Structure 1
């Protein structure tokens, strides 16, 4: 195994083994967020004090030190010291908006997406660490509802809306989010009745490399994944093994470690409903999907590959965190705290965020 692979494996172990079992003082006793009590050792996750009770479904991990989170009440936070402190950098006048996705390029440049029908769907961009924001897109079509956003590089990105006139709508930028254009839908397959995306973790639209992008769906007869190899101009579509059939069920999050190997997670987000087959894997860019042999025990909304490994990944949801060390084929629960989304960085850190202002980090020693 390469040094990079060993580093990723070490991070997997840090998440899977309690600090006390490693002969260290417990490191997972966090400062409690407003409205919740502090909990014991979190097996790798270390909660950070954010000073807010917003729910953060949008997360962009830049490095061990730098991360952005976007959530309810128009809240955007940024840290540059590994979560020791968070700065509220929310756009002015955005308190009524619901941010569900954030894409960040460094400590100063970021793009956030607000969801909702009609003009509630908006995009904001900052170039000065959130000191000022520019609204670069406001949806004027009452039929559109934007869910997720992804960037191929600091200039080229896409955002997706639930179906309009029977097809998913794709928004494109070529200048880092300064301006946006709706792409033609000629190459977009028809949506199923009742089908839509889930704005649950900022991972219903994800990309890998310069041109490949995938879109996750639910609510229709089957949970599907759409794939484009030309930045959203033409798409193919494949059924997954994750059950759908109702508005609360389907594929919620995707992660690709390269243009061929991916993981899908989802299930039924209702608390009283079981979520069998909540994870699936692909090794051919999403042309086929195989159910995990031993999936997460419940609904999961976010998923991420651990850095510098070809086989380790994390999935998160309201009932816990699961770890896979075999490319998503089997999973085991390593934490029972609630998170909505997860993101990992190339320098050996993973971040997770969710309800009640929860943002946590796990790093290599």
Structure 2
């Protein structure tokens, strides 16, 4: 589900998205309107930890959840001025890579790893207590990402087992999970896997559509299901793969038709050409960006209430698009792994060394 979230109020919700898209555009005059005032920028918040946060869920401008290394889960309800450590008891040795929040009190987090290191927890009291709702019993399985269609229905995905991706399903908001039949899943390619880099290798849009990003094989792919994970089709990606470190890392869909994919080679210093692409037909086919993101990017999010503006983040910076992902430009050089936006224009980014930032107008 990833309740969409974004910035400080910039006018009204609807006009705010237009204003943000305008000021992200270069030059200052866009579509005949002059952008007034300083452009939005990331404003770092003090989390008090050096954990790396690859899981992020933006509820609003004031409320967000992050999940990361050392079993760390944090929550803010005051726009990042303070963060509360709400980590599950006994989770210090786990690697949390995804969090999906329904609101300020209810959230589901995913820990990754082989065998029983892959676990799912749920809270209904803002993280005061957590219930472990899934512990992976199969030593061959390794879970990567979560997504929810609504407050009840969601999926989690794991790397291929016996030649097919492993998919979990919940119909009670993450309180219980079951493995879906693999008969509707295409055969995995040799070496194919998904990346638990940003909580965005599995994303949904609407009540039934979901997409899965892959890499590692000769060709990267994006798989799509229109029936909540029962049956899937696969489309080749234009983002280069052919190595365990390359492929599609993050997906974002603003509706069931229009999507953006980002990725590349996550190794520092390695080139990542053609590291972003777009689809206008629900992922049936993908087209490379005319001017792609500048480097490897692991996270991507559409700006709420905009049909054309989005942000992509990675360890070397943030890129912005105002034409639906066809062209990108770098707008920040800070390191982030994931990005998420809420309907009230609250946008957040998170990454290494405890870095969590909120998008504000005129931050320095």
TM-score higher than 0.5 here? yes
1:59-97 Cα deviation digits (max 9, x unpaired): 000011110000000000000111111000000010000
Residue in 2 that maps onto 1:64? 61
The alignment partner of 2:19 has SS state of: helix
Residues of 1 paired with 2:92 and 2:208: CA distance?
34
In the TM superposition, 1:275-286 aligns within 5 A as: 275-286=272-283
**Does the CA-based 8 Å contact 2:40-2:359 persist in structure 1?**
no
**Does the CA-based 8 Å contact 1:43-1:335 persist in structure 2?**
no
Residue in 2 that maps onto 1:29? none
Tell me: higher relative CO, structure 1 or 2? Use CA pairs within 8 A at least 6 residues apart.
2
Residue in 2 that maps onto 1:11? 20
Residue in 1 that maps onto 2:136? 139
State the 1:16 CA deviation: 6.6
**Does the CA-based 8 Å contact 1:196-1:217 persist in structure 2?**
yes
Pick from 198, 201, 204: which aligns with 1:204? 201
Residues of 2 paired with 1:4 and 1:93: CA distance?
40
Runs of 4+ in 1 over 3 A off after TM superposition: 2-6, 12-17, 21-24
Give the gaps of 5 or more residues in structure 1: 25-41
Pick from 298, 302, 307: which aligns with 2:299? 302
Residues of 1 paired with 2:108 and 2:355: CA distance?
21
1:270-290 Cα deviation digits (max 9, x unpaired): 112100000000000000000
TM-score (norm 1): 0.91
Residue in 2 that maps onto 1:231? 228
Q: Are 2:227 and 1:218 aligned?
A: no
State the 1:51 CA deviation: 0.3
**Does the CA-based 8 Å contact 2:60-2:344 persist in structure 1?**
yes
Pick from 150, 153, 178: which aligns with 1:181? 178
- Relative to structure 1, is the Cα distance of residues 16 and 340 closer, same or farther in structure 2, using a 3 angstrom cutoff? farther
State the 1:6 CA deviation: 3.5
Residue in 1 that maps onto 2:349? 352
Give the gaps of 5 or more residues in structure 2: 1-10, 27-34
Residue in 1 that maps onto 2:3? none
**Does the CA-based 8 Å contact 1:14-1:364 persist in structure 2?**
no
State the 1:11 CA deviation: 2.2
Cα RMSD (Å) of the superposition?
Answer: 1.7
State the 1:340 CA deviation: 0.2
State the 1:22 CA deviation: 6.3
Residues of 2 paired with 1:109 and 1:44: CA distance?
29
1:337-362 Cα deviation digits (max 9, x unpaired): 00000001100121000000000001
Residues of 2 paired with 1:156 and 1:134: CA distance?
18
Residue in 1 that maps onto 2:32? none
**Does the CA-based 8 Å contact 2:40-2:361 persist in structure 1?**
no
State the 1:363 CA deviation: 4.0
Pick from 87, 101, 108: which aligns with 1:90? 87
